[in-house]
Amino acid sequence: MTQSVSNHLWKNIEKRPALAVMLSILWLMLVTGIAFFWHLGSISLIDETEPLFAEASRQMYVTGDWITPYFNGETRFDKPALIYWCQAVAYMIFGVNEWAVRLPSAIAALAMIALTFYTLYWYQAQTDDLEGVYRTSRRWLTAGLGATVIALNPEIIAWARVGVSDMLLTGCMASALLCFFLGYAQSPTSLVKARWYFAFYVLIGLAILTKGPVGIVLPGLIILLFLVYLGNFWQVVREISLIRGMFVICAVSIPWYLLVTWRNGWNFIDSFFGLHNVERFTEVVNGHSAPWYFYFIVVTVGFAPYSVYLPVAIARLKLWERKSWMATERSQQLGLFACCWFIGVFSFFTIAVTKLPSYVLPLMPAAGILIALLWSNLIVDTDKQPVKTSSPNSSSSLSPVLISSPLIQASGWLNVIFTSALGFTLLRVSGLIGYDPAAPNFPQMLQKSNLPVLAGIIWLAAAVIIAILLIRRRYLHLIVINLLAFTVFMIFVLTPTLFVYDQSRQLPLKQLSQLAVQVQKPGEELIQVGFKKPSVAFYAQRQINYIPSNQEVADYIQNQAKSNSVLMITQPKKIPEIGLKPNEYQTLAKKTAYHLIRVEINPQ
């Protein structure tokens, strides 16, 4: 019965392409809506990085200076201007709020996933043309699966819902690489070939304008690896109009760099190119060091639960058969391209000395493509059987190997072990969370919410179902269960957990910052003592005096304060450490780990 309904649906879609397009758009809207836009602005800005971007963009919006980014009265040259421009434009449209801060990241993720969907569909269409068949379900399901896997994983969701530059870089870089492949894979006489290459160059320019030289170095490394492997480097260099393309890249990215250098001179060059580019690659910056295997852990967890299938997804490509790949039609080299993409990003940042989880974000789209192509071999229309193809690396020729191979079974059982371990870990997660002085009661609040129990049940149930499917050899459904489990986990556990975390860590600071604005007297300073939480500057919308040590605060109050009183946001334990007696300050508000106080200063 189910098979009959499915066949009827696909026959309708085959006869009505507009219906397929509409359903695809609705599916992408549903998936990305849940992953990126649902409750996007409901959580306070997360210290310490996100408010730095948000406030610098607000300063740009308020002052009208679209060249030099500022935070709290000081220049901020960590990242180029594109993310600030996008957030400032969002402020113009939606107002200054959390939704506007995060909207550019969410839109970048959406655009990247939409282009990935198109690329996978186009790839399957080319495969069908070569094999002389028309497999409707395989085209749409492969594209939909790839887009969904890329959208629904921890790494992509985390950075698509945070107002920093990482997702904008990934969106530009991934879209640029996909445009390159779509141009590369077109026939030599195709009219759209040059257009795809032009889009590639524009997006590379935007990537440079998002995060600097890495926006061209990393895609260049990936493409170089791909073309050198295939032995057609110089052939492709001649066809992509490289000189013209470099002019396009420079036209998009260079003007801002020239203007900001003209305005700020050596300060910008030394800070941006020296500290935030060269030094991050060659030495540890801000204490962000990690062992060489760090990114194996990041990818395993960040791309969970599908990461267990990446080894077999790469193994099925048979990279050792280089001559076969060199003889393969360009349009059928998407798997190889995604593999070079994955390896290129992973290797580059493994070599780099400074390590952060967000650095491997650009490889996640490639991982999603590899997983989609792995499962596309199991999607076969019952009424459209593929014919024998002459291409040694076509997807159909790999299908029997995949189904009968013990690798897919081993990966499936590894999936069971992984989800089981995840379930048991989440049951005890409240006791595993380290102490955070900014959220001292978060573990207790999380435990009382019973969310860890629900999380454990979800993943243990998924493990049981996956094991049953493996025993019955229903391999096609393994990925479906993983996607369903993650979706349920995100809706019913992850999102509520973020609300608990916000109530414990960020919301109190937001409320105190906004209250400080209401009670602030003319000329009265707002001081933060002993810690630097940039969200205070964003929510107070004024300059904050960050003073790190207790002695410095005492000296400042006595000798340098500009008015007869100051407002102070601090942790209660620091008040006596500063040397303040109860009769020397007034407590205006208390919020978990923080107090807002007013310190009266005797006129000299």
Tell me which of 277-291, 507-521, 531-545 is least confident. Answer: 277-291
CA end-to-end distance (rounded Å), the chain: 89
Bridge partners for 600 per DSSP: 565
Q: Which residue from 173, 109, 184 is spatially nearest to 147, judged by alpha carbons?
A: 109
Q: How many CB atoms lie within 10 A of CB 254?
A: 13
Cβ-count burial 545-575 (b if 16+ within 10 Å, e if not): bbbeebeebeebbeeebeeebbbbbbbeebb
Q: Report, in this order, helix, strand and coil percent for the chain, each rounded to 5.
A: 70, 5, 25
Mean pLDDT of the region 268-289: 60
> How many helical (H) and strand (E) elements, i.e. helices and strands, does the chain have?
30, 7
Rounded mean pLDDT of 106-124? 97
Give the type of residue at 554.
Answer: A
d(CA 360, CA 455): 26
Percent of the chain scoring above 90 in pLDDT? 63
| pLDDT tens digits, one per residue of 440-462 | 888 999 999 999 999 999 999 99
Q: 74-75 and 525-529: which strand pairing?
A: unpaired
**DSSP secondary structure string, 469-521?**
HHHTT-GGGHHHHHHHHHHHHIIIIIHHHHHHHIIIIIHHHHHHHHHHHHHPP
pLDDT in tens, 74-84: 999 888 999 99
- β-bridge partners, 525: 566
pTM for the model stands at 0.91
Question: b or e along 429-438 (b: 16 or more beta carbons within 10 Å of the residue's beta carbon)?
Answer: bbeeeeeeeb
Q: What is the pLDDT of residue 440?
A: 83
Question: Rounded distance, CA 290 to CA 574, Å?
Answer: 32
Q: CB of 418 within 8 A of CB of 308?
A: yes
3-state SS string for 120-158: HHHHHHHHHHHHCCCCHHHHHHHHHHHHHHHHCCHHHHH
Place of tokens 């070939």: 193
HSE value, Cβ hemisphere, 13 Å, CA-based, for 500: 20
**Confidence band, pLDDT 50/70/90 cuts, at residue 280:** low
Distance of CA 403 to the CA centre of its chain: 32
